[in-house]
Structure 1
Amino acid sequence: MLGIAILCKTLLKGGAEKQALILAKSLQEKNIDVCIVNWYQDKIDPENLRYIRQNEIRYFPLNGGLISKLFSLKRLLENENSGYIVSYLTFANIVAGISKLMSSNLKTIGGIRNEKLPYYKFVIERFVHNHVNDVTVFNNYSGKVKFKKRGFNADKIHVIQNAIELDNRQAKENENHGNSGESGNSGNEIKIVTVGRFVNQKDYPTALKSFRLLKDKCSTTKLKYIIIGYGPLESEIRSLASELEITGEVQIMINPPNIPEILRSSDIFLSTSLFEGVSNAIMEAMVAG
């Protein structure tokens, strides 16, 4: 049976990267020959590397220049007897398409995770989808409908929604927590939490201004807003919190290791994203109960 290579541009923290790792583990558990390929070898989050090692997933980071990496990937696919590439996001979809042109028997499955893309990415994705890759997987039906109307070959679109891991211990904790009738807050404090990258798509200004309005309207209620994430807009988020005079109630946490515990101890999950595919953060908040 031919193996499967899962290709990512990086393995830094992110929804696509998380889904790639969960897919690799799931396929491996079904005794399917699978490996993870990281285009930028030095760009991997320590938690993701730990996940790979704990689950004994075969991992191949690439190094060198563009041409060198393309031929290294070609040799890797041949050596691993990989007949399929599953790729995530625009750059990896392009690389998968080039790999298909270099190996005619290779089947390529691209991945699009948002219902909205910048125009230049949309044009590239449409060309790769229609003319190179065999299939593109969307994680939401909204994206499928919108992209189909804008020229994507509908016959090559498949929808597979995001996966999420839930271990038995966490399920038992959630069950006990629900049966106890206790809330996650300590005393009378209400904890609100947001998890997401610090980018424009997540619309943190709306979240912070909403929290400020809530604070004004509920002046007798003790409120706390926890923001978990990382990204280029961190300083802007901190500045806006200061401008709104809510720094005493807002806690910004950069990639803490205990996100599930923070979610379980909170009362409200807040998402102000302008657009999504299927949000990993919302799914994980639902799991936390």
Structure 2
Amino acid sequence: MKKVAIFSPTINAGGAEKQACLLAKCLSEQGCSVTFISFYGLEGAEPKNVDILKSNSLIEIFIPVGSQYAKLKSITKVFREKQFDSLFNYLTFCNVFGTIIGRICGVKKIFGGIRSSRLPFKKKILERLIHNYLTDYTIYNSYSGAEFFSENGFNKKKNIVIHNCFENISPQTSRKAKDVPMIISVGRFVEPKDYLTAIKSVKILSQNNIPYRYLIVGYGKLETQIREWIERYSLKDYVEIIIAPDNIPELLDKADIYLSTSIFEGTSNSLLEALNACLPIVATDVGDNKHIVHNGQNGYLHHIGDSNSIAESLVKLLADSSLRIQLGNHGYQLLVDGFSKEKFTERYMGLL
């Protein structure tokens, strides 16, 4: 039986924390003995993440107590007692301290975990030192992140890319033609999402009398600005905003096309949600989008800010329901083949 440690700062609601918990579940289901170490304990823990960890008796949750020094000392003791075969660290704090303790205690394989496509300067320097000299490999959740850090002095030979696990893939959706198809975007209302380009793109549709509805779902500091853009471009009859709903899967099921105009992405979870809903995607060619949207097969990719080309792809999809269904079904299969729990488990088990 393989003995595996997973070291995460918390079990809170963040994306890295959820993926760490899912990794514990997947490895335990393959018969591995997993010790999940949460440095800051259970305070603020996401209940769903705790449930994931409690789903298998082969997962042990270890919560160190006391001062930071006392916690690191108790973690060192656990490492020496357990004699782990492999260690998976998540985020900078754990990458640094987990790797140092792992090396001292003789862990056979140590994996760092960088979950962002960019890092602040000081963190990047620390991560580079740990990656180049102490870890065996660093796992990234996006190719764009791995490429960026390689260009910034990280040893490329020690890079591994494993996309996030999309745990609960829905049954394939059966769609029908509509007189007024719906375009949908889901995301935070922040500058990198570039909603102005999305609004300019759908404005071109209304100028050409093409029937559609556009639903913008999310929340954030740019809400007022987005509403002003909708007013400025005379789109109130076409565009609706829904703030932080709790039924996003249902809204995706009611939509017909997914639109993303981001100027920056890693691996976009919202695009994966669109694949799960069998939606064709029109998106910008940023981050790992090209690994999610295969141009002409399950959607279309465009340059940042190119509202005219984006509008052309939207027109093509709005005019042809069979094309929308064909591309949406292809995208769903891409999700199953590349981002499923089974694929995620296979990739990690191959590292042990």
Superposition deviation, residue 147 in structure 1: 2.7
Hey, what does 1:253 align to over in structure 2? 244
Find the partner of 2:135 among 133, 136, 159.
Answer: 133
Change (3 A) 1:241 1:67: same
What amino acid sits opposite 1:20 in the alignment?
A
Hey, what does 2:217 align to over in structure 1? 227
Answer yes or no: is 1:240 the counterpart of 2:225. yes
Change (3 A) 1:46 1:225: farther
Hey, what does 2:257 align to over in structure 1? 268
Superposition deviation, residue 63 in structure 1: 4.0
Structure 1 segments, 4+ long, off by >6 Å, are none
Superposition deviation, residue 80 in structure 1: 4.2
How far apart are the structure 2 equivalents of 1:64 and 1:271?
45
Hey, what does 2:39 align to over in structure 1? 39
Hey, what does 2:22 align to over in structure 1? 22
The count of corresponding residues between Structure 1 and Structure 2 is 267
What amino acid sits opposite 1:285 in the alignment?
A
> Residue 145 of structure 2: SS of its match in structure 1?
helix
Provide the TM-score with structure 2 as the length reference. 0.64
How far apart are the structure 2 equivalents of 1:50 and 1:72?
25
What amino acid sits opposite 1:243 in the alignment?
E
Residues 241-250 or 260-269, more deviating: 241-250
Residue-by-residue CA offset, 1:139-190 (whole Å, 9 max, x unaligned) = 33443344334322233222333332245xx23xx1xx33xx426x8x7362
> Residue 40 of structure 2: SS of its match in structure 1?
coil
Superposition deviation, residue 125 in structure 1: 1.0
Find the partner of 1:190 among 175, 182, 207.
Answer: 182
| Mapped contact 1:116–1:275 kept (Cα < 8 A) | no
Change (3 A) 1:72 1:116: same
What amino acid sits opposite 1:225 in the alignment?
L
Hey, what does 2:317 align to over in structure 1? none
How far apart are the structure 2 equivalents of 1:64 and 1:281?
39
How far apart are the structure 2 equivalents of 1:96 and 1:23?
17
> Residue 102 of structure 2: SS of its match in structure 1?
helix
How far apart are the structure 2 equivalents of 1:93 and 1:198?
31
What amino acid sits opposite 1:192 in the alignment?
I
Larger radius of gyration: 2
Change (3 A) 1:157 1:216: closer
How far apart are the structure 2 equivalents of 1:9 and 1:98?
15
Q: Which structure 2 residues correspond to residues 1-289 of structure 1 after superposition, within 5 A?
A: 1-41=1-41, 42-54=43-55, 57-105=59-107, 107-167=109-169, 170-171=170-171, 174=172, 177-178=173-174, 181-182=175-176, 188=180, 190-195=182-187, 203-204=192-193, 206-207=194-195, 209-214=196-201, 216-219=203-206, 221=211, 223-228=213-218, 234=220, 236-245=221-230, 249-253=240-244, 256=246, 258-289=247-278
> Residue 163 of structure 1: SS of its match in structure 2?
coil
How far apart are the structure 1 equivalents of 2:259 and 2:39?
33
| Mapped contact 1:140–1:278 kept (Cα < 8 A) | yes
Provide the TM-score with structure 1 as the length reference. 0.77
Cα RMSD (Å) of the superposition? 3.1
Change (3 A) 1:140 1:225: same
Superposition deviation, residue 245 in structure 1: 4.9
Superposition deviation, residue 282 in structure 1: 1.9
Residue-by-residue CA offset, 1:54-104 (whole Å, 9 max, x unaligned) = 455433344433212212222333444433220122222112123225424
How far apart are the structure 2 equivalents of 1:115 and 1:45?
24
How far apart are the structure 2 equivalents of 1:132 and 1:103?
13
How many percent identity over aligned positions? Answer: 33
What amino acid sits opposite 2:9 in the alignment?
K
| Mapped contact 2:9–2:40 kept (Cα < 8 A) | yes
Change (3 A) 1:79 1:270: farther
Change (3 A) 1:199 1:241: closer
> Residue 244 of structure 2: SS of its match in structure 1?
strand
Unaligned runs of 5+ in 2: 279-352
How far apart are the structure 2 equivalents of 1:283 and 1:152?
28
> Residue 194 of structure 1: SS of its match in structure 2?
strand
Superposition deviation, residue 194 in structure 1: 1.4
> Residue 129 of structure 1: SS of its match in structure 2?
helix
Superposition deviation, residue 127 in structure 1: 0.6
Superposition deviation, residue 32 in structure 1: 0.6
Change (3 A) 1:154 1:62: same
> Residue 250 of structure 1: SS of its match in structure 2?
strand
Unaligned runs of 5+ in 1: none
| Mapped contact 1:13–1:48 kept (Cα < 8 A) | yes
